[in-house]
Each structure stands twice: as structure tokens, then as C-alpha cells.
Amino acid sequence: MINTTELARATAEAARVLMTLSAEQKEQILIEMASQLRKQHPVILKANQRDVQQAKVSGLSDAMLDRLTLTPERINQMALGIEKIAGLPEVVGTETLFGHRPNGLEIKKKRIPLGVVCMIYEARPNVTSDAAALCFKSGNGVILRGGKECLQSSLAIAAVLQSVLTEHQLPEALISVIPDADRKIVAELLTLKQYIDVVIPRGGEGLVNYVSENSQIPVIQHYKGVCHLYVDKDADLQKAINILLNGKTQRPGVCNALEGLLVHQAIAEEFLAELEPQLLNLGVKIHACVKAQRYLSDANLLSEAEFGQEYLALELAIRVVEDVHQAIDHIDKFGSNHTEVICTENQRTAEIFQHMVDASVVMLNASSRFSDGGELGLGAEIGIATTKLHAYGPMGIESLTTEKFLVTGDGQVRS
């Protein structure tokens, strides 16, 4: 087994070197990385084929095999992703004045990298290049621990990126891939708080729970997306239908898809009558509370305890509510702090919902599917946080930084 302590120590030491690079140097290096990924795609494809063959032998699901498999076009997409990250505005190094004290001290804050980021993810080789580029751009060293199914691909991708680092006399340890699939290594990594500043797990709920329950290092957690649409009595029903169908059916397997529909009792009959044939037509299985079931021809009755499921499939839970307050209470009980949507033309009702709903993204008259770093204008996304510390919701590159205080005096001492 590899020496994880030594590996993490080397990455932490390498990360300090990054602080000496200018924004222009980092951008140039990222552009070269993208270019090398394209040039060396045959090597990456060859490594990926070994992963794919092994995965077929192990009986990986078709969906996971699809995510694992690289093509020249997918490698080009990875390169385009790196080029996009290269062009983002510099986030580290900016200084802002915080204030002057009566004793003459000047207080500033300066944005700095976190240090070392440890990404723990599943069998998705594209996360290897995305995470490496985001961390490099934000001045962090990165330790990449992908699923064993994509290990050969990840090592090949990292080798290409590292070759560019070497050309620029930078340490390879800035981008470290754990070259060993042993599960014990994850447990070891989660104890190395002297070298690793944050752990970001990306994957299923089991992985996220394991990491957050066992880590001695701060973790940015993304649990799950149980997102609701509340259709108010003052909603434009056509907008509401569009938003519901988009949220539920455009890509049902992702975390910002809708899983629940809450309908105001005053418009429930009209709205559900209009909605149901369209849902059935798109193959959506309908679950409903007793009241909603009255207005539906083909709905499975859902008990109180059965609400709040993350279907990640063409299934929808519908409940009729008395008003916006009952909708908020339902979301408070069954939501997952991810994304919640209200459809209404009533400004006051919208404000109550946006103020009281506890979710990282609260939307008015827009599809939950926009809850994504790119769509919200963050440039690139390292993940989505459903807990509130450090970042809440889609995380851009700034989430990989923090601020330190710079204090300037002229000999002041405390009395």
C-alpha cells in the first residue's frame, strides 16, 4: 500500500509553490494542459479501454459503464472544460480594505487558496481533469481519489497534466492521483488534517455519508436533491406546467430534478386535470396524497411517511396544500435544502416563500434544473453543497478559497 501521509505531505508542500505563480502563468499552464490532453488522447483512450474491459468483467451497470467510457470527443470536452476554467477571472490574491481602527491599524482581507483539496469520487474520469483544473486555477494542491473502476484512466489523464507541470518546473505532486484502489486508503486520507484542508466527496449518498461520518478534516457535503415545486393559487398555470414538466422529465436522474409537487387547494382540480395527461404521456408515475388523488385518474396513494423520496426517475409525489405556509411546512419536513421552486404571480406570496424556505436555491417562476453552477453564472462548478458551512448551494471556484486578515501598523502594542 502507498504511503498516504507522504503523498499528502508532498502535495501540501507543492501547494506552497503555487502561491508564487501569477494569474497569467496559471492561465497559460491550463491552456497547455488542455492542448496536451487533445494531443495525447490515444494514450488516455488506451488506459480507459483497460478500465472498461475490467469493468465489463466486474459486471458494472450500463449507466456506470457509459460514464466510464471515454471517446476522442469526450476527451475534447474535458479539454474545453479546462480552457473554460483557464479563462475564468482570477480569484486569489485580491485584497479588500476591511477598516481602520482608532489606534491607526489598517485591516485588510486577502483572498487565499484553501491549501490542499481532497476529492473523493466514483467512476467518472472527467472529474479527474475538472477537479485538477479547478484546484490549480484557485491555487490549491489536489489529491484525487476516484473509484477503482476509473483508476487507469485517471492515472493517464493526470500523467498528461503532470507532464505540463514538469515542463514548467512545477512539482507533479500538485496533482496527485492515489494509485491504489484499496478502500483503507480513504479512511487514512480522512485523518490527515495536518496536510489536507478540505474533503469534497462527489457521488452517491453512501459515499457522502461515509466520508462525513469518518473525516477529521472539514467536509463539504452534498447529500441529495429532494426538490419541490409549489404551485400557488395565483400562479400562471401554463408557466407552472412547463416548469413542472421540465423539472421532472428533462433529466430525471440528476439532483436538481423535481421530486415533489405541492398544489394550492383552490386551483388543484383545474391544474391537476390539465397536468395529468401530459405526465402520463411522458411516462411519469404519479404518487399522491388523498386529496390530490381525488383529482387524478391514475395515481398511487402515498402515506405521510412515504413523501420526501429522491426518485431520480420518472416518478412524482403530489400533495394538495391549504396555502403557502403549509407548502413551506412540507418542504421543511421533506426537502433536502437543495432547490425549491414557487410558481406565483403574487409578489407577497413569493416573498414569504423565498424568505421562509430553507434551501440553498429558492426560485420563483423558473425551472429547478437551473440550479447549477454554470446556469447561475458561477463559471464552473466543483460541487453543490447542501449543508451551510463555507458554501451553500452550487459552488464556484471561489468556494476553493478563503480570506486571511492583513494588519498593518507602525509599532502599535495593546494596553
CB of 364 vs a second copy, minimal distance in Å = 5
CB of 355 vs a second copy, minimal distance in Å = 7
Q: Which is nearer to a second copy, 40 or 250 (CB)?
A: 250
String of contacts with a second copy for each residue 363-392, x by CB under 8 A = xxxxx-xxx---xxx---------xxxx-x
Instruction: Please pick, from the candidates 34, 144, 220, 284, the single residue that binds a second copy as defined by CB under 8 A.
Output: 220
* CB neighbour list of residue 179: distance below 8 Å, 6 or more residues apart: 2, 151, 155
Dist CA 315 CA 72 (whole Å): 35
Write the DSSP assignment of 196-253 as a string of letters. Answer: --EEEEES-HHHHHHHHHH-SS-B-------EEEEE-TTS-HHHHHHHHHHHHHSSTT
Instruction: Please pick, from the candidates 34, 243, 289, 397, the single residue that binds a second copy as defined by CB under 8 A.
Output: 243
Please tell me whether residue 5 binds a second copy under the rule CB under 8 A: no
Instruction: Please pick, from the candidates 59, 281, 303, 355, the single residue that binds a second copy as defined by CB under 8 A.
Output: 355
CB of 247 vs a second copy, minimal distance in Å = 8
CB of 120 vs a second copy, minimal distance in Å = 16
Q: Which is nearer to a second copy, 175 or 391 (CB)?
A: 391
Instruction: Please pick, from the candidates 49, 332, 346, 398, the single residue that binds a second copy as defined by CB under 8 A.
Output: 332
Please tell me whether residue 252 binds a second copy under the rule CB under 8 A: no
According to DSSP, the residues that pair with 107 across neighbouring strands are: 99, 407
**Cα→Cα distances 339→100, 161, 194, 253, Å:** 40, 35, 35, 15
| Bridge-based pairing state of the strands 175-177 and 141-145 | parallel
Please tell me whether residue 213 binds a second copy under the rule CB under 8 A: yes
According to DSSP, the residues that pair with 99 across neighbouring strands are: 107
Write the DSSP assignment of 152-174 as a string of letters. Answer: HHHHHHHHHHHHHHHHTT--GGG
CB of 91 vs a second copy, minimal distance in Å = 14
- What sign has the CA pseudo-torsion 127, 133, 137, 143? positive
Residues 161-200 that bind a second copy (CB under 8 A): 193, 197-198
Instruction: Please pick, from the candidates 40, 242, 326, 346, the single residue that binds a second copy as defined by CB under 8 A.
Output: 242
* Spatial contact of 296 and 286, defined as CB atoms under 8 Å apart: yes
CB of 112 vs a second copy, minimal distance in Å = 8
Instruction: Please pick, from the candidates 218, 265, 280, 310, the single residue that binds a second copy as defined by CB under 8 A.
Output: 218
Residues 269-328 that bind a second copy (CB under 8 A): none
Q: Which is nearer to a second copy, 177 or 208 (CB)?
A: 208
Dist CA 286 CA 294 (whole Å): 13
Residues 82-111 that bind a second copy (CB under 8 A): 98-99, 101, 105, 107, 110
According to DSSP, the residues that pair with 134 across neighbouring strands are: none
Residue 177 three-state SS: strand
Dist CA 173 CA 192 (whole Å): 16
Dist CA 415 CA 413 (whole Å): 7
* Spatial contact of 300 and 324, defined as CB atoms under 8 Å apart: no
String of contacts with a second copy for each residue 14-53, x by CB under 8 A = --x--x----------------------------------
Please tell me whether residue 346 binds a second copy under the rule CB under 8 A: no
Q: Which is nearer to a second copy, 40 or 212 (CB)?
A: 212
Q: Which is nearer to a second copy, 31 or 364 (CB)?
A: 364
Among residues 399, 255, 254, the alpha carbon closest in space to that of 337 is found at: 255
Summarize as ranges the residues that interact with a second copy (CB under 8 A). 16, 19, 98-99, 101, 105, 107, 110, 112, 114-115, 193, 197-198, 212-213, 216, 218-221, 236, 238-239, 242-243, 245-247, 250, 332, 354-356, 358-367, 369-371, 375-377, 387-390, 392-394, 402-414
